[in-house]
Amino acid sequence: MDWYSLSRALLFRLQGETSHELGLDMLGAGERLGLLKYMAPQVAGLPVTVAGIDFPNPVGLAAGLDKNGEYIDAFARLGFGFIEIGTVTPRPQPGNPKPRLFRLPERRAIINRMGFNNKGVDHLVERVKASRFDGVLGINIGKNFDTPVEDAASDYLACLDKVYEHATYITVNISSPNTPGLRNLQFGESLKSLLQPIKERQQQLAAEFGYKPVFVKIAPDMEDDDIVLVAETLIDSGVDGVIATNTTLSRDGVEGVRFGNEAGGLSGAPLEELATETVAALCRALEGKLPVIGVGGILDGEGAVAKMKAGAGLVQIYSGFIYRGPALVGEAVDAIAAHQTSV
């Protein structure tokens, strides 16, 4: 049994959020003590350029694991081609009442209703500045729960102003199911009216700090017609890419399982097929005009390749990391390399 499997076996005896926080603290301590470099597997290089950014490999850490940017150096040690931190909001907020994070190990799944719990954008920026990481860093931004949806742009702009200088790219999260009304921002005039001021501010900040791509993260719970409309709006808005997908409200694949009926977003293996289908539909609708980062249910190398086959240029992992650990990063990179060699 490797060190991660042993740690996971012990951590899984604890309540979901408790083990989550303890696991992160263990990673952070391992890095500070200089131990993680001896424990992390070697990951092969597989350079790729997406949205003008050079990535050392196409496998990244999805937002949500390191909400406050407190473990950047530890995750950097594990071979990720890029790291995305957040979601961060302008003001600190506690998120939804606990318990709000549930493991479904028999389905290799997680349900969470965290609700953008974070220490605020100022804290995150300080942690980024204190890190030693000089690789590709995405910062995922959102709105505070008590900001009306019609005023959401002000929160995104406040975050954008503060993180822009310190990010390689910025992700606009409009797809979490755990902030009331947030997903309404994905459609029609709401999406247009949100992205227009963000693009304008991006251009202003680019004059001072250089151009940083802005991506938009979407949900998997859309019909194909909705995906086409969203794709058209994203192209027209001038954003630089799309991350597909966030967690799902579906409970397909977890029926009858303990915690399967808990409210929140479902991630992990049950999301894989839906997320991959969304990536494929989105790529068809975009017709190559915007790059797509595929995320959702990747638990092995084959899952990473499936997202690439669907049209993604990069992939991200979250729940797969919880269940598989650092070995998944190298496995995914190797599988993508083998796939690229075979086509």
Tell me the catalytic residues.
176
Q: Is 257 helix (H, G, I), strand (E, B) or coil?
A: coil
Place of tokens 């068809």: 284
Contact criterion met (CB below 8 Å) for 290 and 303: no
Could you please report the per-residue DSSP string of 297-319? S--SHHHHHHHHHTT-SEEEESH
| Under 8 Å between Cβ of 87 and 142 | yes
Phi, psi torsion values for 265, nearest 5 degrees? -95, 135
> 169 — phi, psi (to 5°)?
-145, 160
Q: What does each C-alpha distance from 265 to 66, 116, 152 come to in angstroms?
A: 17, 12, 21
Q: Torsions phi, psi of 208, nearest 5?
A: -100, -40
Nearest to 65 by CA among 5, 138, 7: 138
- Tell which residue, 177, 245, 248, has the closest CA to residue 217: 245
Instruction: For residues 42 and 243, give the distance between their C-alpha atoms in angstroms, rounded to a whole number.
Output: 27
Write the Ramachandran bin of 268: left for phi over 0, alpha for psi from -120 to 50, otherwise beta.
left
Helix, strand, coil shares, percent, the chain, to 5 = 45, 15, 40
Q: Which of 133, 159, 164, 165 is nearest to 144 (CA)?
A: 159
CA torsion through residues 185, 189, 195, 200, sign: negative
